[in-house]
Amino acid sequence: MVDMSEANKQKVAIVTGSSSGIGYATSLMLARKGFYTYASVRNISRSARLEYEANAEKLPLKLIQLDVTDVDSVKDALEKIVSEKGRIDVLVNNAGYGLFGAFEDISLDEIKAQYDTNVFGLIRTTQAVLPTMRKQKSGIIVNVSSINGQIAFPGISAYASTKFATEGLSESVAYELEPFGIKVVLIEPGPVGSNFMKGSVLPKTALDPRSPYSETETKLGK
Ligand SMILES: NC(=O)c1ccc[n+]([C@@H]2O[C@H](COP(=O)([O-])OP(=O)(O)OC[C@H]3O[C@@H](n4cnc5c(N)ncnc54)[C@H](OP(=O)(O)O)[C@@H]3O)[C@@H](O)[C@H]2O)c1
């Protein structure tokens, strides 16, 4: 028998990286569909436009600070949501950026930073919501991967490997969570108009014309 009181509760969603692009649009879409949406941004000063748009439409959307690379920030945001709403129905792991350039040109620290956001960021938020979703026996985790989680080409080894990691992690965890009523969804977008290219990072040495990969990188439009 369906528990109507449970079914009638307003669903609660959280989206990471809502200051622009896919996260911005997804937060608005969820709020327009009636989800109480926590649009999370790592820098609250970059949320004015989203807040303005949500207020103008009187949407159930609240801005919240969350940097996926900062475990305390993730913990604080998730605890706040659970204390305010008592549930989390949807987590959209969207925050990410591209580190481009020839593999040999990229420093280990640059690769670590890429993984810290694109992979460990997703791991931090997902592990933080799971106890709540398991208790509810329901939930949807949406992981924004990329077409580059399926195919790679020169100059994107760091970025593509984070998205391949996202694919493997999502597939395995989906089986683990199924018995608890929690679904894992992978999104693999092709090119999307956003701030993605503006926010992407090139390794310092890739800008050096003496790099043995300079010609390839120029062809790839560095
Ligand atoms: N655009 C494409 O063609 C495309 C294609 C396939 C997949 N994707 C994926 O889609 C996702 C969203 O990208 P987008 O295209 O919407 O690019 P975008 O406009 O640059 O948005 C990226 C978002 O991630 C946020 N972010 C970055 N690091 C963060 C951190 N440490 N903590 C919290 N938020 C952080 C950014 O916040 P700030 O404003 O603070 O930088 C921004 O809100 C990414 O995972 C990307 O890999 C994009």
**What is the average pLDDT score of the chain?**
94
Atom of ligand 1 nearest to the CA of 159: 47
Looking up tokens 């800008």 gives 207
pLDDT digits (tens, 9 = 90+) for 42-59: 999 999 999 999 999 999
Give CA torsion, residues 9, 140, 12, 78, to 10 deg: 130
How confident is the model over 89-113, as a mean pLDDT? 96
Evaluate: CB of 97 within 6 angstroms of ligand 1.
Answer: yes
Closest alpha carbon to 60 in 110, 122, 12: 12
The conformation of residue 201, written as its DSSP 8-state character, comes to B
145 is catalytic: yes
- Answer yes or no: is pLDDT of 1 > 80: no
DSSP bridge pairs for 186: 143
Average pLDDT over residues 69-82: 98
Give the three-state DSSP class for 90: strand
Angle at which helices 120-136 and 157-177 pack, to 10 degrees?
Answer: 10
161 CB less than 6 Å from ligand 1?
no
Three-state DSSP class for 93? strand
The first and second tokens of residue 222, run together, are 């560095």
Ligand 1 contact via 95 beta carbon (within 6 Å): yes
The string of pLDDT tens digits covering residues 149-201 is 999 999 999 999 999 999 999 999 999 999 999 999 999 999 999 999 999 99
Strand order in the sheet with 90-93: 61-65, 36-41, 12-15, 90-93, 139-144, 182-187
pLDDT digits (tens, 9 = 90+) for 106-159: 999 999 999 999 999 999 999 999 999 999 999 999 999 999 999 999 999 999
With contact defined as beta carbons under 8 Å apart, do 99 and 106 qualify?
yes
3-state SS record for 172-185: HHHHHHHHHCEEEE
Q: Would you state the pLDDT for residue 6?
A: 65
State the CB neighbour count (10 A cutoff) for residue 157. Answer: 18
Q: What is the pTM of this model?
A: 0.95
Mutate to test the pocket of ligand 1, among 18, 27, 38, 97 (most ligand atoms within 8 A of CB): 97
- Amino acid 75: pLDDT: 98
19 as an active site residue: the answer is yes
